[in-house]
Structure 1
């Protein structure tokens, strides 16, 4: 039986992976290598596989699957395998893991002469990524899916700046997700006419057409019940600065129902 007694504001990992696959394909990539790891549960083990499913649904092809461990600082064995792929190097390499690992992989792979895309998930979304990758030129080959754009000037960026000015210790996209969820709860309580009956508030969340987000845009739980229908931003880099390369609700969902 499918549980309906909860909601989650972040889109499921397979949804984000599908959005990343779509943008990667739109950028001209037709072949990809995926990195998987059992160290981070389904996030590191399954998200790359879901990227591959979505990428192949679009017409691309996953030509190699490589393993890695969280905490790796030397990717020489995997990079050697990639750089020996014939007759042509892959157009994209996908990994879902943590910083600094993903930044180290991107830096070492590009330093070895790889000139394709290094793409990934929300694990890339950390301010330290830029310094870890190491150069603006290398960063221009990097893209990742995340929950929202938090650059200065964006609604989420402004929220983080205001919180810091007020003395709160905030620094990441997850702080903004918390703020968005509080905004949804307040609006749902108003719709339900109660602040005490949790099931009525939950029903209001799951039946309301859409909620305006403090971080920009809207979200709706009406179709899926427990997880949101929302746009997935893909972040790219130009001259070392982040920008939104695309923002879409993917049409193909590999796993979540």
Structure 2
């Protein structure tokens, strides 16, 4: 009798295993190229939460299909097409940067693929799109945070340095300028650079002549480090603040040396200020696995995956027989996410815009290559 029961048990287990499906989720991040460290940190966060949250209540398994977008529009679009058409993923997390997210926007709509960008902050990324959802705040808010911080500290004149090639940089510069002027600040000059530039002597000379109270630099870390180094070498000591695109203290210290000290930036998360129980657990597990505290990229990467996992859990594979039906269900669930416990806080998505509601920002400062929390600013 025992043998018969054991055999029946094993048969049931085998049948259950055979019935379980693999559900593919694409991960499209810049794992090589100028902002590879951002992509790697994001992937670390995604993989960590995937280890815990990969099985659905019906036994189906979520597997990740990772593609390197290389921070290149052609490679990003090709990678997205490969994931959707070749790998038949049901959702994609990424791309990371605003310009890359904008490059795949049309394809997300055409293929009706639910896409979550965890940290692309340009407002145009989700505007008019039913299939791109965002896990982070937008530049409208991030730029306002920087402007309010500057004026709160009596920094009434500013120079803006932005990257003409990056939608993220252009959008954030506009948002800062609008908020800064509205509240009484004066923008003395807007100076532009291009991705990959290494010589900023012309911009530095103009900034030194203008002697602003504040320098706003919504650019990426590779250019930021060199710009700051050249500013300080020229004797320009005005406070410098960037956006989340420079949230790489190690790279800034490598490029700028001691000149990186005092550089500030707005960001999505600080591990010293864990906002949820899940966040505390994530920080503990991340330190144990990687031997360091999680960055905002890791935290928002985790949030993006948790949004997708939560949405997939709500969709029955039997009721949604085709891949397209299943994707539509996932997208609807994503857009109606309410009070989901995540790493950066509790996420509620506005179904009309695809953006999270009331996401706060933190202001960080780099001190000796480490990040020091300064302020939490809510919408």
Distance 1:6 1:98, change over 3 A: closer
Query: As a proportion of its length, which structure holds more helix?
Result: 2
Aligned partner (choices 135, 142, 146) of residue 263 of structure 2:
142
The residue aligned with 2:143 is: 17
Shift of 1:8: 1.5
SS of structure 2 residue aligned to 1:49? helix
Question: Is the 1:31–1:61 contact (alpha carbons within 8 Å) kept by the matching residues of 2?
Answer: yes
The residue aligned with 2:338 is: 209
1:109 aligns with 2:231: yes
Aligned partner (choices 214, 217, 221) of residue 95 of structure 1:
217
Structure 1 residues not aligned, in runs of 5+: 251-257
Shift of 1:243: 1.9
Q: For the pair shown, which has the larger CA radius of gyration, 1 or 2? A: 2
Aligned partner (choices 190, 204, 222) of residue 65 of structure 1:
190
Shift of 1:186: 2.9
Distance 1:13 1:24, change over 3 A: same
Question: Is the 1:33–1:90 contact (alpha carbons within 8 Å) kept by the matching residues of 2?
Answer: yes
The separation in 1 between residues aligned to 2:335 and 2:136, in whole angstroms, is 15
Distance 1:14 1:210, change over 3 A: same
1:7 aligns with 2:168: no
State the structure with bigger RCO (CA 8 A, min sep 6), 1 or 2.
Answer: 1
Shift of 1:80: 1.0
The residue aligned with 1:119 is: 241
More displaced 10-residue stretch of structure 1: 44-53 or 144-153: 144-153
Question: Is the 1:207–1:222 contact (alpha carbons within 8 Å) kept by the matching residues of 2?
Answer: yes
Distance 1:199 1:247, change over 3 A: farther
Question: Could you list the per-position Cα deviations for residues 23-69 of structure 1 after superposition, in whole angstroms to 9, with x for gaps in the alignment?
Answer: 222232111101122222x1122321221111112221111111212
The separation in 2 between residues aligned to 1:129 and 1:157, in whole angstroms, is 23
Question: Is the 1:159–1:176 contact (alpha carbons within 8 Å) kept by the matching residues of 2?
Answer: no
The TM-score with structure 2 as length reference comes to 0.55
Structure 2 residues not aligned, in runs of 5+: 1-126, 321-325
